[in-house]
Structure 1
């Protein structure tokens, strides 16, 4: 007994590394991405106890293997009927090729083959710059709703803007409009009073995958990062703007609050049906009950505009990294330019290589990222990639006016994408994300004008100056990059 007491810490250490050895073996045998596996093994070995906590809270994929596999089986049965009506056959895609420049048809084929996502025509698309424009437009449309309203948000707060939204929703519920809300349990902050009020109005509102101590687990795996609204199955909203005062640039807060630059889309047309399907799939999943699919959810729609749209959704329940692969394909098939705006740039090797290679063969690549951002570790991790980009001729710009939160791309004046997906591993592989890919030269022209206007609030980074930044910054970047696959 004395021997054990005298050597208790040695026994604990041996026991700990026995657990580490078993855990490492489990991780290696699952053949996950090598960079991520190495980062996890590094954490397990050099950070006693903390490493295991990181692993079990942030890196485990047991829910993906079990829960989301069940969800995937259900998904296909639910949406097959209406997708079969919209999906293009090979002969239709061949006919479509003459409308596309260069290899853009490859992007259409990829999304259709990856996810059976219809290429829809006759859509009307409105670009909504910043939260104030998004909420002004959204509130007006909500007040005109007649049958149903569906909302799915990563951040839903019962603050000033959130209360205005809740007021409208309760009014519509009392008029007999069916309202369903899905909110992420970790990202959102809805008061019990607000929840009680919505429930009393007959609004169906459910959290996405509740967890213990959400304030201590802001990055807990498998969060619903989407921001979508569907009204009567005819109008859809998709983009980066959450329901929070943080996303609205109130004039009276100009001196006290960081300026927030964001982007959202309003869509009318068949593209809304894809957004509707994704909402219903997730809502059924979190409520553990099957919603009766009504014709009102997928109504007959007359052409509303001239834009073609594909909606790409990705997450732990999809077979492929749909949005990442679409972005990868868009970069690789670019003929002239790729302009990107993203708040978090922590790319995987595929996207980084695609950008650097495209730049070196003469494609103009411009990337806008925030100078400061809202995450210190993410900012330093992002900075660790900048030197390689600059060396390859990629133009990188720091947005200095405030926080740029828009997640957009415009390619060759033909294709644009706006949605919730950041250029990082968390968006590519862990969170539930959704993007609209818009094939319309007029929308691309408007997106280009917005991008160029944002450049006026940016400072371009210079390779020589960047190399000469303080060595302490380089150390922070190197350490932060070790965690890049987990951020």
Structure 2
């Protein structure tokens, strides 16, 4: 043994070289077998390229980030929730659609019900708020009016000069005996540092129960958890009677970042406030996330409240999505609606990196005569995503899609779609691969002529703040910029 060890020491360079080459070949061969399994061709190709170029770097990254799957214990919880929701759905008929609703809308309702188990509810009312500070002020006022229960769930939450009154209202509610439950994404909030810690201290000081969602504790649930699986939902439910959802996080419009303040960046959002039976469905969705983090199963009798306001005329259906579902619920819904459109599609998405089927649906719609408009930001706050989405502009413009660039220094962070004059989808979901595969999202499909008018008014406001990108302008961009966009597009496929 001593002689062998001495020989290894004497020939260390040769041994290390052969070990390296053997490991290099082994990782490449294993990658060829493992990576393509149950994966989109584009994603598989991107991972294989990473592994083939630098096996000792690419393969560990694949083990870390290559599976968009929750760990075993969370999957078991998701199965319990899905089973309970489907059992409940069997006893709840869908609301009747308006007589003037297009025939294809019923198939969208059936699809959503099959994927997410939430029924279509009628007699709802809703209004929109696009002013950042006003929406926080209105949510704060609703908290102060709550008498029984307040449920809060946001991807990013922080206590700063803009949200101080919101958290004061939560404290007042808890102090007067209202049950307050708070959820926030761990990384989405933790990354904001001191204002995140201030929020936690404030909640603790008033005895408010709160949990970070998808905590970055890799082996907490019995298996390694991919760290970039996040809960991206934004929900506020009060007494089971009022529900807020949309794109806005609970943080100052500049996200408390010095670089954003220096550049003058601020976020533009769209939030919707609901009354009617749909609020109980929103409450049930909150309860699923509460169960994941607290292990407390809130009862349906407590969550589903008879609405005090049923004067509305909107049909609403909640659509949850995320890595806990077998199918990509939000992508399936968007594609179904895009292929059903006959006159007009208007899509607002800050991060637009479409899956191949979505790109085909939009291009096909434009080529068959549907007016297609896409709203994105003129500048981006995420380098990789911003340049990846730019790589799709040429194909869209060539097909006849009109692209509106929301003027700098504002980041258009709103997320909504309107189809013809028939239906709206609004919520937290971007139109990118991350929202389809890695993030837990919530979307609301809404039918109703009056609501469509409200939505079109918002679109008109955004159009007035944007400039249209033309194909001629786009073709004149520098070659190095084209190469960068295409390189980022390739990198974005590594999911």
TM-score by length of 2: 0.89
Q: Residue 380 of structure 1 corresponds to which residue in structure 2?
A: 387
Whole-angstrom CA distance in 2 between matches of 1:295 and 1:54 = 45
Give 1:76 deviation, angstroms: 3.2
Instruction: Confirm or deny that 1:477 pairs with 2:490.
Output: no
**Which residue in the other structure is 2:463 paired with?**
455
Tell me the SS of whatever aligns to 1:301: coil
| Corresponding residue of 1:45 | 52
Q: How far did 1:195 drift?
A: 1.8
1:199 aligns with 2:204: yes
Cα distance between partner residues in 2 of 1:194 and 1:133? 21
Cα separation, partners in 2 of 1:248 and 1:270, compared to 1, 3 Å: farther
Q: Deviations over 1:312-369 (max 9, x none)?
A: 0101111221111111111111111001111011000111000000000100000011
Equivalence map 1:4-43=2 (5 Å): 4-28=12-36, 30-43=37-50
CA contact (8 A) 2:287 2:298 kept: no
**Is the CA contact 1:345–1:423 (under 8 Å) kept in the aligned structure 2?**
yes
Q: Paired residue for 2:172? A: 171
Secondary structure of the residue aligned to 1:64 is coil
CA distance in 1, matches of 2:33, 2:154: 37
Correspondence 1:349-428 to 2 at 5 A: 349-401=356-408, 402-428=410-436
How far, CA to CA, are the matches of 2:140 and 2:431 in structure 1?
30
Q: How does 1:141-220 map to 2 (within 5 A)?
A: 141-189=142-190, 191-211=196-216, 220=227
SS in 1 for 2:231: coil
In structure 2, C-alpha distance between the alignment counterparts of 1:165 and 1:9, rounded to whole Å: 61
Do the aligned residues in 1 keep the contact of 2:229 with 2:439 (CA within 8 Å)? yes
SS of residue matched to 2:296: coil
Q: Alignment partner of 2:150: what SS?
A: strand
Cα displacement string for residues 131-163 of structure 1 (whole angstroms, at most 9, x for unaligned residues)? 212112100100011111111111111222333
Q: What's the counterpart of residue 216 of structure 1?
A: none
2:443 is matched with: 435
Task: Go from structure 1 to structure 2 and tell me whether the alpha carbon gap of 1:141 and 1:359 turns closer, same or farther (over 3 Å shift).
Answer: same
Contact 1:71 1:317 in 2 (8 A): no
Residue 470 and residue 443 in structure 1: after superposition, are their counterparts in 2 closer, same or farther (change >3 A)? same
Deviation at 1:413, TM superposition (A): 1.4
Alignment of 1:272-351 (within 5 A): 272-287=279-294, 289-293=295-299, 295-302=301-308, 303-351=310-358
**Secondary structure in 2 matching 1:369:** strand
CA distance in 1 between counterparts of 2:286 and 2:17 reads 51
Measured in 1, the distance between the counterparts of 2:270 and 2:398 equals 30
- Asked if 1 retains the 8 angstrom alpha-carbon contact of 2:183 and 2:290, the reply is yes
CA 452–254 in structure 1, closer or farther in 2 if over 3 Å, else same? farther
SS for the counterpart of 1:286 is helix
Q: Using a 3 Å threshold, how does the CA distance of structure 1 residues 474 and 140 change in structure 2: closer, same or farther?
A: same
Cα gap change, 1:136 to 1:86, in 2 (>3 Å): farther
How far does the alpha carbon of each residue in 1:46-66 deviate from its partner, in whole angstroms, 9 at most, with x for none?
Answer: 1343323432332234x4362
Question: CA 1:204/1:412 → structure 2, altered by over 3 Å: closer, same or farther?
Answer: same
- Residue ranges of structure 1 left out of the alignment (5+ in a row): 214-218
Aligned: 1:64 with 2:74: no
Work out the CA distance in 2 between the residues paired with 1:185 and 1:260. 21
Is the 8 Å Cα contact of residues 130 and 247 (structure 1) preserved in structure 2? no
- Distance in 2 between residues matched to 1:138 and 1:315, nearest whole Å: 26
Indicate the SS of the match to 1:205. strand
Check conservation: 1:268, 1:304, Cα contact below 8 A: no
Q: Secondary structure at the match of 1:104?
A: helix
Asked whether the 8 Å contact 2:28–2:55 carries over to 1, the reply is no
Measured in 2, the distance between the counterparts of 1:41 and 1:242 equals: 36
Contact 1:224 1:433 in 2 (8 A): yes
Query: How far apart are 1:86 and its partner, in Å?
Result: 3.3
1 CA distance for matches of 2:494 and 2:131?
29
Shift of residue 193 of structure 1? 4.7
1:97–1:105 contact (8 Å) kept in structure 2: no
- Aligned counterparts of 1:324 and 1:398: Cα–Cα separation in 2: 23
Shift of 1:87: 2.9
**Distance of 1:59 and 1:457 partners within structure 2:** 39
Report how far residue 465 of structure 1 moved. 2.3
| Higher mean C-alpha displacement, 253-262 vs 332-341 | 253-262
Q: Provide the rounded CA distance (Å) in 2 between the counterparts of 1:312 and 1:260.
A: 25
Judged with a 3 Å threshold, the aligned counterparts in structure 2 of structure 1 residues 248 and 3 are, in CA distance, closer, same or farther, namely: closer
**Cα 1:263–1:451 shift into 2, 3 Å:** same
Partner residue of 2:267?
A: 260
Residue 472 and residue 225 in structure 1: after superposition, are their counterparts in 2 closer, same or farther (change >3 A)?
same
**Contact preservation (8 Å) 2:125, 2:313:** yes
Query: 1 CA distance for matches of 2:26 and 2:229?
Result: 28
Q: Distance in 2 between matches of 1:37 and 1:150?
A: 40
**1:218-264, CA deviations, whole angstroms, 9 ceiling, x for partnerless residues?**
x9431000011111111111100001112689xxx999632421101
* Equivalent in the alignment of 2:141: 140
Change (3 A) 1:168 1:44: same
> How much has 1:23 moved relative to structure 2?
3.9
Shift of 1:114: 2.1
Residue equivalent to 1:242: 249
Q: Does the CA-based 8 Å contact 1:43-1:51 persist in structure 2? A: yes
1:53-92 paired onto structure 2 within 5 Å: 53-61=60-68, 63-64=69-70, 66-79=72-85, 83-88=89-94
**Helix, strand or coil: the match of 1:245?**
coil
